[in-house]
Amino acid sequence: MHKCNCEQPLVPIMVEVIDIKEETPDVKSFFVKNIDSNGVPFNIEPGKLAMVSHVPVGEGMFSCTWQEGDEYLQFAIKNVGLLTGELHQIEVGQKLGVRGPYGNGFPVQDCKGKNMLFIGGGIGLAPLRSFIKYCFKNRADYGKIDILYGSRSYADLCFKEELFELWLQEKDTRVHVTIDNPEEGWGGHVGFVPAYLEEINPATENTIAVVCGPPIMIKFVLQALEKMGFSDEQVITTLEMRMKCGIGKCGRCNIGSEYVCLDGPVYYLNQLKQLPPEW
Amino acid sequence: MKILSKTRLENVFNKLNETAEVFVPMQRGEQSGFYPWQTFAAGSDKLWLEALNVYLPPKNVVFPQTERMYNIKQEGQDVKIDETYEDSKSRVIFGARACDVKGITCMDDVFLTRGYEDSFYKARRQATTIIANACYAPGIACFCSAMGVKYVDPEGADIIIRDIGDGYVWETITEKGEMLTARIADLLEEREVTLPEPKPFQQDVNYDGVAEKLKGMFEHPLWDKLSQTCQNCGICTYVCPSCYCFDIQVKMYGNEGYRFRCWDSCMYEEYTREAGGGNPRPASKERFRNRFLHKLEFFKERYGHPLCTGCGRCTVVCPAGISIVKIIDAVKEADTDA
Ligand code: SF4
Ligand code: SF4
Ligand code: FES
């Protein structure tokens, strides 16, 4: 059952937290559902945003990590500040507010028939995961899938069950995981994401790269992709900006005349390059 | 022609005040702005319809400086939003100048178009009737016509009044205006008058081509120079009739409270600071550049006209002597071949 808040776009719909999962020491997934247990408040396509409100504390904009039909909306949230710190304290049963969905989302239709290269760092895998899971759900629509993901340490890798088990079982799929520094018990790759990307040296042909992670990683990944021959039309990224309204009114998420909350947050690199360099 | 004699102004305010909150330009101590007629204190306040621009524009009537959005109640893990505050009380803005009316129509573009309607703004806006006071003698800081504002025939008003010395010509424009006129019809008289000749502007501002030229000037060195003295105090955004950026905050008293929004300023460092600490506009220069590009370029790209209505207020109040007029000139003169 969908409750729309289009009449009052700034007023959240109340939902209940039905499950909380600790992904890493500082990332938790929150699973929310309508209070009457009857479905989710709204449908949200991969890459779109929702304002999650711990109502007495504050609101923050998050990319939805996954919508499981009428079962739940999932948000993987890293503890970085006041609101997220409070969110990390809550327990199952807590009522939260949500409003959305906001933004354009990933171009899932555009990418049909392409090989997909997902490149993520740290919490950046959370937005990508909605697209990755969408590809697996519609597996026949996409070609080969490569997932390259890195984090500081083994403990800091999000979604381990999927990385080391579930996604490996998918057809034509390779998962490349790396951590920044060597660690006891870790037999996998060590090093930063951009360097590992160059080692893997993925084929550019008919491939779309989707990049999400800390700004410094994005910067070097974009350089590496360019060096490997990816054109700007083959590269997609999703931006993070401070947001308050989510509906293109409050003014703060602009880059030039674009409002990232409304017109973004997902851009092809050629689109981004036409904007003032404030991203 | 319908004429409102100045001797009957107060009768009109009193009459309108029976069914609406009436905001009129007044001087109040060191301040001036549009204040509710019912708060008028004959001894200390001065009715100031002749002022070209009172210090504060009437934007707070449709977009208050702080506005409660909804109430919050929490009980353990239960949280309820139990009342929202869309405010549709009738209001009248009496005597706004063309630039200030334009400021409100700029906000209409923002809050009522492009995908979402802001329900809080919409409620207030629909319940507000605007009576504009046409200008015939632009002031020393005015440059509205350069920004596309029709100072003699203000656009967006429900009623236009025109000063003829002992009274005002009363011209009803919209249906909302007719409803208001009907309420005070017996206070108007009928007579023929000749309207004054509009006087020319006292400063020459040329905005033609500026938005287009700015497109290639994001990285131009002129921003370093122009922004040098800006103190990021934000007063320019506070007095501006078209600045609309806002913040959303929460206030809790124990288990009860409310969420509200309030004016914000793009000149402040926290405005774009992210929860993780990053900031795309960390220094004064970037914020300064964004403000003036928003006014002169970005808004025009998005909505078809600039976000400066040429009221001149920011040029008068800035403690650092920064003036959007000088910025327009500097852009016009800037060398962009480099
Ligand atoms: S009023 Fe002047 S000093 Fe203050 S923020 Fe505006 S431009 Fe800067
Ligand atoms: S930018 Fe300055 S001159 Fe332009 S409308 Fe705002 S206050 Fe008036
Ligand atoms: S978050 Fe308010 S305009 Fe984008």
Could you tell me if A228 and A120 lie in one domain? yes
A187 and A97 within one domain: no
Q: Do A95 and B297 touch (CB under 8 A)?
A: no
Q: CB–CB of A30/A95 below 8 Å?
A: no
Q: At residue A57, does pLDDT exceed 60? A: yes
The domain that holds A225 is classified in CATH as 3.40.50.80
State whether A130 and A171 are in the same domain. yes
What's the pLDDT tens digit per position in B30-72? Answer: 999 999 999 999 999 999 999 999 999 999 999 999 999 999 9
Residues A176 and A68 in one domain: no
Q: How many CA atoms lie within 13 A of B316 on its CB side?
A: 16
Where is the domain boundary, A48, A67, A102?
A102
**Can you list the pairs that B12-17 forms with residues at least 24 positions away whose Cβ atoms lie under 8 Å?**
B12/B184, B12/B187, B13/B37, B13/B94, B15/B183, B15/B184, B15/B187, B16/B92, B16/B94, B16/B180, B16/B183, B16/B184
Q: Any idea how long chain A is?
A: 279
Does residue A248 have its Cβ closer than 6 Å to ligand 3? yes
User: Are A138 and A234 within one domain?
Assistant: yes
B118 → closest Cβ in A241, A249, A251:
A249
Chain A residue with the nearest C-alpha to that of B108: A249
Per-residue pLDDT tens over the stretch A193-207: 999 999 999 999 999
Residue type, A267: Y
Does A130 share its domain with A95? no
Q: Report the residue among B225, B229, B233 best suited for mutation to probe ligand 1: largest number of ligand atoms under 8 A from its CB.
A: B233
Q: Note if the bond before B196 is cis, omega within 30 degrees.
A: no
Cβ partners under 8 Å of residue B5, min gap 6: B166, B167, B189
Query: Is the pLDDT score of B195 beyond 80?
Result: yes
pLDDT band for A279, please (50, 70, 90 cuts).
Answer: confident
Structural domain span for residue A86: 13-102
The span from the CA of B88 to the CA of B78, in Å, is: 30
Q: What Cα–Cα distance (Å) separates residue B89 from each residue in B32, B86, B124?
A: 24, 9, 7
CA distances from B94 to B9, B41, B49, B154 (A): 10, 17, 9, 13
Q: Is residue A180 part of a domain?
A: yes
- Rounded average pLDDT over B101-128: 97
Based on the domain organization, do A125 and A211 belong to the same domain? yes
- Of the residues A102, A130, A160, which one is the last residue of a structural domain? A102
Ligand 3 pocket mutation pick from A49, A247, A279 by most atoms within 8 angstroms of CB: A247
Phi, psi of B96 (to 5 degrees): -75, 145
Q: Rounded mean pLDDT of chain B?
A: 95
**Domain C-terminal end among A102, A126, A159:** A102
**pLDDT value at residue A1:** 45
Q: Which residues of B touch A256 (CB under 8 A)?
A: 218, 293, 298, 301
pLDDT beyond 90 at A225: yes
B312-331: average pLDDT: 96
- Asked whether residue A251 is domain-assigned, the answer is no
Please give the ipTM for the structure prediction. 0.91
% chain B with pLDDT above 90: 92
Question: How far apart, in whole angstroms, are the C-alpha atoms of residue A28 and residue A44?
Answer: 20
**Whether residue B277 has pLDDT greater than 90:** no
Contacts of B120 in chain A (CB under 8 A): 10
pLDDT digits (tens, 9 = 90+) for A151-189: 999 999 999 999 999 999 999 999 999 999 999 999 999
Enumerate residues 6+ apart whose C-beta is below 8 A from B183.
B15, B16, B19
Number of domains composing chain A? 2
Domain residue extents for chain B = 2-62+70-333
Q: Which atom of ligand 2 is nearest to B313's Cα?
A: 7
Are residues A94 and A122 both part of a single domain?
no
Tell me the pLDDT tens digit for each residue of A93-129: 999 999 999 999 999 999 999 999 999 999 999 999 9
Calpha distance B177→B123 (Å, rounded): 18
Residue in the block written with tokens 């600071």: B273
Q: Is residue A224 part of a domain?
A: yes
In a domain, A167, yes or no: yes
A126 in the same domain as A56: no
pLDDT for the residue B284: 87
pLDDT the model gives residue A3: 58
Note whether A80 and A178 are same-domain residues. Answer: no
Q: Which of A94, A251, A276 sits opposite B77 (nearest CB)?
A: A94
| Stretch B317-332: mean pLDDT | 96
Q: How high is the pLDDT of residue A4?
A: 61
